Chains A and B, each alone.
Chain A
């Protein structure tokens, strides 16, 4: 491997500032939406006492899951010693932090009492996986920051491997922690499965890599930096494999659920009778989010076209948001099984009369808050690569791996 040089992102100023202005506007709109929701109270959202976590949580969880996945590219280089991935590590670390910040901000701003965050930081209930997650998130950011430092500061290079391993282990814990938020909800049928944690890990691999690929291709393209076909082929194949793995886990998850009689009703709900959730599951999660991107990525011709890879990665992101939507909101819409063997025929509080789903329709402010978090993560990424040396000047095949070149 030739010596890799890094340089700040060189996109021309007007385009750069234009891009920032667009993203900043989206962030600002999200901010106003938040102020509105916090000022009025949550009645202006679609969330209710039955669907307590709504669209903001879908975005927040997606971003947090993707954040740990974005670090994977760096881990493959440092932990698993794949030289080709080494030059990709800095951007990977940066995105791990920015995506996490974006997700956490959405999560915090949706709290009923966001100003009491200080309470959350000082009074801990150590039995709560939620409280543990606060440590996991903060620790993750700190470790990745140190990791970035060891990569970017020559004198500290020697520690890079060790810190990289730590970061990798930490990110596994983090994703497991995020998945466990659901795993602990014993009373909710859709969540009560051991497979949840590994499924979240594999989802994080795919969603993080998809976002990484998009940012990598975009920044390199706008800056006329060479991005080799061999490298791109590896990354897109990896993405294809991760999506295939989600596919596998999705199938196993639903099959094991079908195996246990007590979950039949839930399965029928998601797979057949759940209305919008069934549609989102089959159309958005399975078809557009997994089958189509796999078809593109593994297609001999399409799979090598950059435009097609971009579309595939975008679809994976879309499928990811849909998957989290089905899990988070579909899981709540399905009524609690309070009286096994009975049907609720009347209820003063939406207990799922006749087994019908509880209603939820996302509201605009919720959606704007979620999108705002997304925009914030991208904004921070673009500012980062502009100010500091995150991007290699070239990822041409002969630069990163002379032997791999055709």
Chain B
């Protein structure tokens, strides 16, 4: 269950200085702006925490619009299967930042569909284990990988409880400027960080979802759409028992 935002905010502020310090030492983090149309040259602050609420009742069975939109936004569709690779193996090796999952409740038999991606944990195991600090959490709650310091050890992938990360198994010819990528590094959903830093207010998956199942925004702003929705509907964190305080929440799971 999600905590009331206020309590969460206080808990978060208590750890904020630590998070800010961690961000400051991670190289490659610079000029990231705060949400809503902030200029690129102001620092990332912990005055916001980005997150999402996914309404699984709206998520349509068989739809994968969010997946294609993410692939396009982050250049995952530019990757080509290496010559000679087997289709089945390649499908397990190609990166995926967001995916559709369909579940059945073991007791009631009720079926739920939902998109899964990096849950942007407040206490991210991937960051804790990363030997070089390449996995880091920005002050605004976005968890991402610095591709210049990632050595490709995949320890973060071992640690992530949500199978959210991908390793780049092949040479990369084409890459979008928004999402640089390189062979031998790990990556995962970064809540369209390039949009954050350019003042955008949405994510690609949210824009693509015709059902309006994905609401993105600032969890700390009581007036944001996501906060309003969280206040209105019961929601859960996936694997809440791990106490990671995820930034992505779900209704009706």
A residues sitting closer than 8 Å to B (CB atoms) are 38, 40-43, 46-50, 52-53, 111-114, 116-117, 119-120, 123-125, 127-131, 134, 181, 184-188, 332, 336-351, 358-359
Contact = CB atoms under 8 A, between A and B. Distances in A.
A347 B85 contact: no
B204 interface: no
Q: Which 6 A-B pairs have the closest CB atoms?
A: A112-B152, A112-B184, A187-B161, A348-B99, A48-B92, A346-B102
Interface string B122-136: 000101111111100
Contacts of A125: 127, 130-133
Interface stretch (B3-11, B104-112, B208-216, B220-228): B104-112
A48 B89 contact: yes
A359 to B, nearest CB: 7
Contacts of A347: 99-102
7 contacts: A42-B184, A116-B149, A128-B155, A348-B96, A348-B99, A349-B99, A349-B163
Contact of A185 (B111, B149, B159): B159
Contact of A124 (B111, B132, B184, B241): B132
A341 B105 CA distance: 6
A332 to B, nearest CB: 7
Contact of A113 (B92, B104, B150, B155): B150
B170 interface: yes
Contacts of A346: 100-102
A56 to B, nearest CB: 11
Instruction: Pick the most buried of B93, B131, B165: most chain A CB atoms within 10 A of its CB.
Output: B131
A112 B154 contact: yes
B176 interface: no
A181 B130 CA distance: 11
Nearest to A39: B171
A111 B158 contact: no
Contacts of A120: 131-132, 151, 153
A145 to B, nearest CB: 24
A52 B242 contact: no
A221 B160 CA distance: 50
Contact of A112 (B105, B149, B183): B183
Contact of A130 (B100, B106, B155, B165): B155
A123 B136 CA distance: 13
Instruction: Pick the most buried of A49, A338, A346: most chain B CB atoms within 10 A of its CB.
Output: A49
Given A343-B104, A347-B100, A187 B242 contact: yes
A115 to B, nearest CB: 9
B163 A338 contact: yes
A38 B182 CA distance: 12
Instruction: Pick the most buried of A42, A50, A112: most chain B CB atoms within 10 A of its CB.
Output: A112
Interface in B185-226: 185-186
Instruction: Pick the most buried of A41, A47, A181, A338: most chain B CB atoms within 10 A of its CB.
Output: A41
B129 A128 contact: yes
Contacts of A340: 239, 241
Given A41-B82, A338-B238, A131 B163 contact: no
B90 interface: yes
B170 A130 contact: no
A119 B132 contact: yes
A345 B85 CA distance: 27
Contact of A344 (B89, B101, B132, B155): B101
B162 interface: yes
Contacts of B102: 344-347
Contact of B169 (A42, A345, A350): A42
A349 B163 CA distance: 9
B166 interface: yes
B95 interface: yes
B161 A350 contact: no
Given A42-B167, A112-B186, A49 B158 contact: no
Contacts of A184: 125, 128-129, 159
A348 B96 CA distance: 9
B144 interface: no
B167 to A, nearest CB: 6
A351 B104 CA distance: 13
B20 interface: no
Contacts of B67: 348
Contact of B184 (A52, A113, A129, A338): A113
